[in-house]
Chains A and B, each alone.
Chain A
Amino acid sequence: MTRERNPWLTALAALTFVFLFAPIVVLIIFSFNVSRRNFVWLGFTLDWYPKLFANVQLLDALSVTLRVAVIAIIGATILGSLLGLGLARLRFRGSGAAETLILLPMITPEIIIGISLLIFFGQLFRQNGSIGQIGIAHITFCISYVAIIVRARALSLDPRLEEAARDLGASALGSFRHVTLPLIAPAIGAGAMLTFALSFDDLIITSFNAGPGSSTLPIYIYSSIKFGVTPQINAISTIIVAVVALALFVAWRLGAFRPDERRVVADDAT
């Protein structure tokens, strides 16, 4: 079907793209700025990049962030995938309540999750600020995202595939391992990726649950910005943008975003 193109709409879309990317471009340009104060362009330099790797505080923060992310990915991916799978395939008494419980963390402002875990650990364990605590907090707010992604994928599967495997003599575990798991693997991968992104970027929940020895990268960046010590922030930001862009590009080339051509629904049999 042909339709007339509205030039105004195209202009508006172009403007929106400029709006979305202008700040990121500015950030990248200023990461090569000689000026320490970062607002005035004084000339080109590459100095800030090697300095990143000599900044012990920053490297510590990065290491904490990555350790938390690993905990979050393992915990949220396992718990969330099982939850999504269970909710998609099995109706049981109370499944409505379980679905509401999944949605609630997503409609609760992060700051509320942050303070509630702070009080929870403070009141019950009289202790706060460990990496484990941040990990628990991240698992808690990431489970729902994984569960929803996996549930959507599992709903598109035909339950008869697993039944067929069982009829052919596979054990419950065997049919899960060899039939269901490979089919929902892309969703689990997407959930793990999203968990990494959410965990790596989280400031609000983390800031309430971090202690003196467990500052994450966002906390480090936030305090650097607040106290005006910023020459390296543009450089680290540029690296993050580059890594993200590269990861998205690779995922796109690998076809991760293509609409489900491999969707498995045994419609033919119906």
Chain B
Amino acid sequence: MTTAAAAPTPRRPLRDRLSALIYVVPGVGWLALFFAVPLVIVLIVSFGTKDATGHVSLAHPGLQNYLRAGRPEYVPAFLNSLRYAGITTILSILIGYPIAYWISRYGGRRKILLLILVMLPFWTSYLIRTYAWMIILRDNGVLNGILQSVGLISDPIPFLNTDFSVILGMTYGFLPFAILPLYVSIDRMDDNLVQAARDLYASGRQAFLHVTLPITMPGIVAAALLTFIPAIGDYVTPDLLGGAQTTTIAKVVQVVFQSGRDWPYGSALGFLLMVLTLVGTFAALRTLRRETLGGG
């Protein structure tokens, strides 16, 4: 970045600035029109009401939709979203870190192939992978079938439509997102640092906790963000693996929009979800800054 910025181009500064516009304006304009403007409209609509014909009315703007979203019956949906996304994030890092470390350190010449294998599920459809878990976890599914045929259980265990199945499905779905940034940060780390710590009589555990972990913290934070953000906005897994009784805020938004057609209320819920995501994101980035300053 510095080379590009510092490279002197004194001859054609105006021309370069003009060509910057040509490069950047179409994309920025597109995102402004189809990303930023719609978000502002969502915010405006969230203060409106639904009129008799079902259309959005801004005649009596107010906070009614937000007050409605804060009612006690919606609290579980918000808490579920945070809980599912939070646990999924933690599990993805706990499962993703060892395998990323293993590929980086033991992968040898097969590193790239192993990475491709890890990413293969990511390139196949998320929906299809979630569906695969339905086949496995159903009462008469693969897992219960195996457990019954070896005689461990006599009646099927209801795996599906539980917190367990939702968190399992989400962790499975977003694990590849966690592994990639973890791998990059572990692979980039200088092995000699760990060696130096060991030479100074640090145990393997101490070397990991005081050297490897702080150095790879940026990868951990990136993995957390890449898992948390899609997880908190996901309604597919809670719907397919959680069943009708599992509510998350994204599921409520989806139902409000696709059956209720109450756009102002749905917008308020969506906006709250967005705020929740941004708070999570900034909390993660703050952790990163503290860890890198304090740990280094």
Q: What residues of chain A have their CB less than 8 Å away from a CB belonging to chain B?
A: 1, 3, 5, 9-10, 12-13, 16-17, 19-24, 26-27, 30, 38-40, 75, 78-80, 82-83, 85-92, 95, 98, 101-102, 104-105, 107-113, 115-120, 122-123, 136-137, 139-140, 143-144, 147, 154-155, 158-160, 163, 172, 197, 200-201, 203-204, 207-208, 218, 221-222, 225-226, 230, 233-234, 237, 240-241, 244-245, 247-248, 252, 257-258
Cβ-based interface call for B3 (8 A): yes
Q: Considering only CB atoms, which chain B residue lies closest to A82 in the complex? A: B23
Cβ-based interface call for B209 (8 A): no
User: Would you call A109 and B250 a contact (CB within 8 A)?
Assistant: yes
Known: A119-B45, A122-B263. A111 touches B135 (CB 8 A): no
Interface residue total, chain B, C-beta cutoff 8 A: 95
User: Would you call A115 and B253 a contact (CB within 8 A)?
Assistant: yes
Contact of B102 among A10, A80, A139, A218 (CB under 8 A): A10
Q: How far apart sit A86 and B56, CA to CA, in the bound complex (Å)?
A: 39
User: Would you call A136 and B34 a contact (CB within 8 A)?
Assistant: yes
The interface residues of chain A lying within 8 Å CB-to-CB of B121 are 20-21, 24
Q: How far apart sit A207 and B1, CA to CA, in the bound complex (Å)?
A: 39
The interface residues of chain A lying within 8 Å CB-to-CB of B99 are 12-13, 16-17
Q: How far apart sit A9 and B99, CA to CA, in the bound complex (Å)?
A: 8
The interface residues of chain A lying within 8 Å CB-to-CB of B233 are 109-112, 204
The interface residues of chain B lying within 8 Å CB-to-CB of A218 are 125, 127
Closest 3 CB pairs of A and B: A109-B233, A86-B23, A83-B27
The interface residues of chain B lying within 8 Å CB-to-CB of A136 are 34
Q: Considering only CB atoms, which chain B residue lies closest to A245 in the complex? A: B120
Q: Considering only CB atoms, which chain B residue lies closest to A197 in the complex? A: B123
Known: A107-B229, A119-B38, A119-B263. A140 touches B30 (CB 8 A): yes
Q: How many whole Å from B195's CB to the nearest CB in chain A?
A: 7
**CB-CB contacts of B149-175 with A at 8 A, as 1s and 0s?**
000000000000000000000001001
Contact of A248 among B101, B103, B116, B263 (CB under 8 A): B116
Cβ-based interface call for B82 (8 A): no
Known: A39-B138, A258-B112. A204 touches B235 (CB 8 A): yes
For the complex with contacts A12-B99, A115-B267, A237-B125, 17 further pairs of A-B residues with Cβ separation under 8 Å are A13-B99, A17-B99, A20-B117, A20-B175, A23-B172, A26-B135, A40-B140, A86-B24, A90-B17, A102-B27, A107-B278, A120-B37, A143-B30, A221-B127, A221-B128, A237-B124, A252-B112
User: Would you call B26 and A19 a contact (CB within 8 A)?
Assistant: no
Q: How far apart sit A172 and B235, CA to CA, in the bound complex (Å)?
A: 48
The interface residues of chain B lying within 8 Å CB-to-CB of A257 are 112, 115-116
The interface residues of chain A lying within 8 Å CB-to-CB of B277 are 107-109
Known: A1-B195, A27-B128, A119-B45. A248 touches B120 (CB 8 A): yes
The interface residues of chain A lying within 8 Å CB-to-CB of B229 are 107-109
Cβ-based interface call for B266 (8 A): yes
Q: How far apart sit A39 and B153, CA to CA, in the bound complex (Å)?
A: 18
**CB-CB contacts of B269-291 with A at 8 A, as 1s and 0s?**
01001100110010000000000
User: Would you call B42 and A90 a contact (CB within 8 A)?
Assistant: no
Pick the interface stretch among B4-12, B60-68, B71-79, B213-221: B4-12
Cβ-based interface call for B196 (8 A): no
User: Would you call A244 and B172 a contact (CB within 8 A)?
Assistant: no
User: Would you call B124 and A240 a contact (CB within 8 A)?
Assistant: yes
Cβ-based interface call for B197 (8 A): no
Known: A26-B136, A39-B135, A233-B131. A115 touches B270 (CB 8 A): yes
The interface residues of chain B lying within 8 Å CB-to-CB of A116 are 35, 38-39, 41-42, 270
Q: Considering only CB atoms, which chain A residue lies closest to B257 in the complex? A: A115
Q: How far apart sit A144 and B34, CA to CA, in the bound complex (Å)?
A: 13
The interface residues of chain B lying within 8 Å CB-to-CB of A82 are 22-24, 26-27
User: Would you call A248 and B41 a contact (CB within 8 A)?
Assistant: no
Q: Considering only CB atoms, which chain A residue lies closest to B81 in the complex? A: A109
User: Would you call B24 and A83 a contact (CB within 8 A)?
Assistant: yes
Known: A82-B27, A102-B31. A9 touches B113 (CB 8 A): no
Q: How far apart sit A175 and B104, CA to CA, in the bound complex (Å)?
A: 39
The interface residues of chain B lying within 8 Å CB-to-CB of A137 are 34
Q: How far apart sit A237 and B141, CA to CA, in the bound complex (Å)?
A: 18
User: Would you call A101 and B102 a contact (CB within 8 A)?
Assistant: no
20 example contacts (A-B, Cβ-Cβ < 8 A) are as follows A19-B95, A19-B172, A20-B117, A20-B120, A78-B26, A83-B23, A90-B17, A92-B17, A102-B31, A105-B35, A115-B267, A116-B35, A119-B56, A204-B234, A226-B239, A244-B123, A252-B113, A252-B116, A257-B112, A258-B112
